[in-house]
Structure 1
Amino acid sequence: MELTMLPITSLFAAAFAVALVALSFPISMRRLKVGDMVGDSTDEDLRRRIRAQGNFIEYVPFGVLLLGLVEAQNGTTTIVLTIGSLLAFGRVLHAIGMFSSSGPLRGFGMIFTYLALFCAAGWLTANVWTS
């Protein structure tokens, strides 16, 4: 059995891991500041930070899984980079929107995230269907 290397997915996964820490650290700092160490708190800033991180965690793992499947099934470098970039751009926009209370940025972030998931799902379906 040959081990499939997924270099593009690996780089995106590494970047997403750093992004998760970047989203998590402000939660820890805010918890220390407001003294609310458990739960979602009544502090609106803490709640916003928690939701930004939570939304990231809700979408990125499945997006990385789909990205890895596309790359493992010989998706072109262009398609893998496009899907990964859409996901990353969507997550950045969403996080900025959450931290700045910008509904439009959050919305565009979700649109790019959905687009990445739909592109990966469409590519995988087409690839399996034609194989």
Structure 2
Amino acid sequence: MAVLPVTSLLAAAFAVALVTLSFPISLRRLKVGDMVGDSADDALRRRIRAQGNFIEYVPLGLMTLALAEAQAAPLWLVLTIATMLVLGRALHVVGMLTASGPVRGFGMIFTYLALLCAAGGLIVNVAL
């Protein structure tokens, strides 16, 4: 059975990050009295989208990272993918919550690069 230490640690960190992103949504919902939907409140909408985007990209990022690690990809590649994914997700959240388009954009670029590196590594490994 594969242990996948990098993916395991990253999954644990992302679980904590998801709770960290979710809790302020609950608090803001209570404050504005809008318990369902995306609300007209800009702060609540930004928090919801930051969390939603996190949920949209992290699972596939973790799956491709786990597959690369399980297929014995070089450690430098696994760490590169993990670093880009963490950096991408962190920058995106900061950009969303501070309304900084450039920071958010760099977050997406790093996320895309992580996914593309993982996909490339998997394709090369399977093809060889």
TM-score, structure 1 length as denominator? 0.96
The alignment status of 1:87 with 2:108, answered yes or no, reads no
Percent identity at matched positions? 69
Say which of 5, 10, 15 aligns to 1:7.
5
Q: CA RMSD in A?
A: 0.5
Q: Secondary structure of the residue that 2:9 maps to in structure 1?
A: helix
- Residue of structure 1 equivalent to 2:23: 25
d(CA) in 1 for partners of 2:5 and 2:121?
A: 19
User: Mapping of 1:57-76 within 5 angstroms?
Assistant: 57-76=55-74
d(CA) in 1 for partners of 2:61 and 2:103?
A: 20
d(CA) in 1 for partners of 2:13 and 2:62?
A: 11
d(CA) in 2 for partners of 1:47 and 1:119?
A: 31
TM-score, structure 2 length as denominator? 0.99
C-alpha displacement at 1:56, in angstroms? 0.2
Cα deviation, 1:68-106, whole Å, max 9, x if unaligned, reads 000000012111111011000000000000010000000
Q: Secondary structure of the residue that 2:48 maps to in structure 1?
A: helix
- Residue of structure 2 equivalent to 1:99: 97
d(CA) in 2 for partners of 1:37 and 1:48?
A: 15
C-alpha displacement at 1:4, in angstroms? 1.2
Letter in 2 for 1:44: D
- Residue of structure 1 equivalent to 2:36: 38
Work out the number of aligned pairs and report it: 128
Letter in 2 for 1:106: R
Q: Secondary structure of the residue that 2:89 maps to in structure 1?
A: helix
Q: Secondary structure of the residue that 2:38 maps to in structure 1?
A: coil
Which segments of 5 or more consecutive residues in structure 1 lack a partner in the other structure?
Answer: none
Which segments of 5 or more consecutive residues in structure 2 lack a partner in the other structure?
Answer: none
- Residue of structure 1 equivalent to 2:52: 54
Letter in 2 for 1:22: T
Say which of 91, 109, 119 aligns to 2:107.
109
C-alpha displacement at 1:63, in angstroms? 0.3
